[in-house]
A and B are shown apart, each in its own frame.
Chain A
Amino acid sequence: EPEVTQTPSHQVTQMGQEVILRCVPISNHLYFYWYRQILGQKVEFLVSFYNNEISEKSEIFDDQFSVERPDGSNFTLKIRSTKLEDSAMYFCASSEEGPSRRSPLHFGNGTRLTVT
Chain B
Amino acid sequence: AQTVTQSQPEMSVQEAETVTLSCTYDTSESDYYLFWYKQPPSRQMILVIRQEAYKQQNATENRFSVNFQKAAKSFSLKISDSQLGDAAMYFCAYIRRGTNQFYFGTGTSLTVIP
B100–A109 touching, CB < 8 Å:
no
Contact pick for B97, options A33, A48, A91, A100, CB 8 Å: A100
Q: CA separation between A46 and B91, bound complex, in Å?
A: 17
B105–A89 touching, CB < 8 Å:
no
Q: Min CB distance, B45 to chain A, in Å?
A: 4
Q: CA separation between A35 and B37, bound complex, in Å?
A: 14
Q: For A50, list chain B residues within 8 Å (CB).
A: 100
B104–A99 touching, CB < 8 Å:
no
A42–B107 touching, CB < 8 Å:
yes
Nearest to B91 among chain A residues (CB) is: A43
Q: Min CB distance, A29 to chain B, in Å?
A: 13
Q: Min CB distance, B11 to chain A, in Å?
A: 16
List the 7 closest pairs (A to B, CB-CB), nearest first: A107-B45, A48-B100, A43-B104, A42-B106, A100-B97, A104-B47, A109-B44
Give A71-102 as 1s and 0s: 1 = Cβ < 8 Å from B's Cβ atoms: 00000000000000000010101000011101
Residue B19 is within 8 A (CB to CB) of chain A in the complex: no
Contact pick for A100, options B43, B44, B99, CB 8 Å: B99
Q: CA separation between A2 and B51, bound complex, in Å?
A: 23
